[in-house]
Structure 1
Amino acid sequence: MAMDYREKEHAFITIEKDLKGGKVPRVVLLCGSEEYLIEWYAQTLIRRYVSDACRALDLVRLEGDSLTLERIREGLETVSLMSERKVVFLPDFLPAAGKAVRGFPESDCKALAEYLPQVMEGSMLLMCVPDQEEQKPKKNVIRQAVEKCGKVYDFQPLKDKQLHGFIEKRLRASGKNYRPSVVSAIISNSGYGNKAINYSLYNLDNDLKKVIAYSGEEITASDVSAVLSVNPENNVFAMLDAIGRNRKDEALRLLYNLLESGTTVFSLLRMITGQLELILSIKEMKENGMNLTQVQKKLGVHQFRVKKAAAVGGNCSVSYLKNILSEAYQVDEHIKTGLFDGQLALEYFIAKL
């Protein structure tokens, strides 16, 4: 039953199929870097198998001091009479990621791994463990046991098609009309997929609620722009574009807007260097004969960020972009060594180019 869901299909597609087909096993591990999806499907599974009327009896939540091997077994071996399954829920179970936790020694991890194939019909062990590292997970006895007798749903960041589906599902649920271009505008204007800023599906879901609440009977691109125009990433792209067009007055205005909106100097500098690295990489790949589709696949970033970065770097040479990036690195050094005040260093960065 072992399978690497990152390579085959996204975990949310797999779990939706399993829920629809009644194929969710008795032992489940929800993990990965997308905490929103982990929490969403944990609650979905609980609602699916536990009756609301018997939730207090048929849902056993174990964490902290209550998390012991004995209590896990006890919960799983007490069969529900009212719900479809008795669910033992471990919401942040670090041992499933190979991490130590107080009160749950390695010997208990091995004993639990050996016990998992014995989980009886009518019970479910539901384990969750977020992991921000977007890389192949380290093997550990519990995860290996789940792969053999249950199922691991590894929720990694959504790709383009999946992200479209996520957004469209929520727009449809609002009952409002919208055109396909609105979905593209939301992706383009949001910060999802940009590792330089902390923007997850939680942020995207919240922004979608804002767009829906702001709009009338139909959600338009102007509604999206009005709500998401404060996204720092977009203003950084615009600032870099202004620098490339030698519009330093415009670039400085965007810089002040970003600082006044609460964006910190170091956060802003991290976005600037991140965007410049992306723009330079795309420029070099295009000059080596790669098209945007190939570039997007190679870099693993959303196509909208690739298109936006390609547009910003379109009229700039590779040597010019390397020079700007080098200057940005120097700004970081000047601030950290105390040579310049943060805002002054960024102003000097723009004026010097």
Structure 2
Amino acid sequence: MNYQEAVRQIRSGRVLPVYLLHGEEVYLAREFEAAIINAVLSPEERDTNLIIFDGDPAPAELTSVVETAPFLGDKNVVVVRETALFRASRKNTDESDAGDRDAERILKLVRNLPEYTLLIFQTAEAADKRRKLFKTVEERGAAVELAPLKIKELRGWVVDKLAAAGKKIAPDALEHLLAVVSMMPQVSLGFLAGELAKLALYTENRAIITRRDLAEVLSAVPEVSVFALVDAITQKQVGKALSLLSDQLAIGEHPVRLVALLARQVRMLWQAKELAEKGLGAREIAEKLGVHPFVGEKLARQCLQFTAGRLKEAVLALAAADRDFKSGRAGAFSLDKIIIDLCR
């Protein structure tokens, strides 16, 4: 079961007796825990009826907690974070033998959960789906995979997150945000949630978040700055482009990271230029490059401002700058020169 489906079930009032939350997106695990707690326990019950373990307790201790009737209300919620019970077992070791014995004890506990206890296991590691315990959790409840959200899934997540703060986001601002996020090697939902919280605070009594708000609040985020930097380069605004670069260096962003982000954008411009010269439109370019449609449209427009030769030269120059920065032979002027050449 995926995260979205599991959350929809909870919101509809269907809460299962046991869950395994497995996958690297720990932020989603905490959100899921909160959704369960809000659905099952009143604020007054949480001091006595919510028990959280960081790591696996001894089987006897977990059994005791699970089988203890709630002091108030109808339910206990027991959370075991960073469990090791669902790892692939290592054969013929004392550690694996002990782990298997613990898993067998927990297996019996899960099969005989009292009606008044809801049990949640969480691990950031890959769960071994062959284990009896994994299959039993699936039979009695649900194993929820917490994979990083894809861009199309992120759209709804952003809208819901802002709605919870009493905010909406303008369509062009949402497309711009998703385009920027699509540049990130991996989306950290914890980081993104923090940036959305900043936007909600920045806009204060205004209900709609605009693209200008994004530019003001997220200007320190390297991907946002590089996105704006390429805009300035495309418009031949050399002063603005160099100022954006200087701002990133001033706040401590490492030149190697900026080179990598800029190289990725220039490489996509070069690819878009070649595809456009073959007669492909913006939507087809986006599909070929595997980018958000908004990014595809932007690349299709921007690549018209350059020759394929100029973009190829910039890609090669950025590759050389990357080597020089990593070997300590380059200074910030190397990037300045590449940007100035692109603005000509």
**What CA distance in whole angstroms lies between the structure 2 residues aligned with 1:223 and 1:53?**
38
How far off its partner does 1:67 sit?
2.0
How far off its partner does 1:148 sit?
4.0
How far off its partner does 1:271 sit?
1.6
Match status 1:122 vs 2:113: no
How far off its partner does 1:45 sit?
0.8
- Verify the 8 A CA contact 2:48 2:72 in the aligned structure 1: no
Match status 1:155 vs 2:146: yes
**What CA distance in whole angstroms lies between the structure 2 residues aligned with 1:345 and 1:137?**
46
**What CA distance in whole angstroms lies between the structure 1 residues aligned with 2:142 and 2:271?**
38
Match status 1:90 vs 2:61: no
Query: Residue deviations 1:289-333, cap 9 Å, x none?
Result: 765555555665443344444443344455543442232222111
Secondary structure (helix, strand or coil) at the match of 2:159 reads helix
Secondary structure (helix, strand or coil) at the match of 1:168 reads helix
Counterpart of 2:25 in structure 1 is 34
Counterpart of 2:159 in structure 1 is 168
Classify 1:246/1:125 alpha carbon distance in 2 versus 1 (closer, same or farther; 3 Å). Answer: same
Counterpart of 1:8 in structure 2 is none
Counterpart of 1:214 in structure 2 is 202
The 5 A counterparts of 1:1-353 are 3=1, 5=2, 11-12=3-4, 14-64=5-55, 67-80=57-70, 82-96=72-86, 98=88, 105-108=98-101, 110-111=103-104, 114-115=107-108, 116-130=110-124, 139=129, 141=131, 142-175=133-166, 179-188=170-179, 191-196=180-185, 200-215=188-203, 216-221=205-210, 222-243=212-233, 248-283=238-273, 292-293=282-283, 296=286, 301-318=291-308, 320-341=310-331, 343-350=332-339
**What CA distance in whole angstroms lies between the structure 1 residues aligned with 2:270 and 2:7?**
39
Classify 1:51/1:351 alpha carbon distance in 2 versus 1 (closer, same or farther; 3 Å). Answer: closer
Classify 1:225/1:144 alpha carbon distance in 2 versus 1 (closer, same or farther; 3 Å). Answer: same
How far off its partner does 1:127 sit?
1.4
How far off its partner does 1:335 sit?
1.8
Secondary structure (helix, strand or coil) at the match of 2:182 reads coil
How far off its partner does 1:194 sit?
2.9
How far off its partner does 1:126 sit?
0.4
TM-score normalised to structure 1 length: 0.76
**What CA distance in whole angstroms lies between the structure 1 residues aligned with 2:128 and 2:267?**
29
Shifted more, 38-47 versus 252-261: the winner is 252-261
Classify 1:285/1:171 alpha carbon distance in 2 versus 1 (closer, same or farther; 3 Å). Answer: same
Classify 1:85/1:178 alpha carbon distance in 2 versus 1 (closer, same or farther; 3 Å). Answer: same
**What CA distance in whole angstroms lies between the structure 1 residues aligned with 2:29 and 2:54?**
17
**What CA distance in whole angstroms lies between the structure 1 residues aligned with 2:315 and 2:190?**
31
**What CA distance in whole angstroms lies between the structure 1 residues aligned with 2:273 and 2:143?**
39
How far off its partner does 1:41 sit?
1.3
- Verify the 8 A CA contact 2:88 2:127 in the aligned structure 1: no
Higher Cα radius of gyration: 2
Secondary structure (helix, strand or coil) at the match of 2:114 reads coil
Classify 1:61/1:121 alpha carbon distance in 2 versus 1 (closer, same or farther; 3 Å). Answer: same
Classify 1:254/1:55 alpha carbon distance in 2 versus 1 (closer, same or farther; 3 Å). Answer: closer
- Verify the 8 A CA contact 1:331 1:346 in the aligned structure 2: yes
Alignment gaps of 5+ in structure 2? none
**What CA distance in whole angstroms lies between the structure 2 residues aligned with 1:242 and 1:176?**
30
Classify 1:179/1:51 alpha carbon distance in 2 versus 1 (closer, same or farther; 3 Å). Answer: closer
Classify 1:15/1:314 alpha carbon distance in 2 versus 1 (closer, same or farther; 3 Å). Answer: farther
- Verify the 8 A CA contact 1:280 1:322 in the aligned structure 2: yes
**What CA distance in whole angstroms lies between the structure 2 residues aligned with 1:282 and 1:269?**
20
**What CA distance in whole angstroms lies between the structure 1 residues aligned with 2:11 and 2:330?**
59
- Verify the 8 A CA contact 1:76 1:88 in the aligned structure 2: yes
How far off its partner does 1:28 sit?
0.5
Classify 1:351/1:111 alpha carbon distance in 2 versus 1 (closer, same or farther; 3 Å). Answer: same
Q: Report the aligned-residue RMSD.
A: 3.6
- Verify the 8 A CA contact 2:242 2:339 in the aligned structure 1: yes
- Verify the 8 A CA contact 2:22 2:145 in the aligned structure 1: yes
- Verify the 8 A CA contact 1:26 1:124 in the aligned structure 2: yes
**What CA distance in whole angstroms lies between the structure 2 residues aligned with 1:293 and 1:166?**
24
- Verify the 8 A CA contact 1:31 1:155 in the aligned structure 2: yes
TM-score normalised to structure 2 length: 0.78
Query: Residue deviations 1:194-250, cap 9 Å, x none?
Result: 334x75222332222322322243435233332233332233234345555665554
Secondary structure (helix, strand or coil) at the match of 2:22 reads strand
Secondary structure (helix, strand or coil) at the match of 2:123 reads strand
Identity of aligned residues (%): 25
How many pairs does the alignment contain? 334
How far off its partner does 1:42 sit?
0.8
- Verify the 8 A CA contact 2:218 2:224 in the aligned structure 1: no
Secondary structure (helix, strand or coil) at the match of 2:115 reads coil
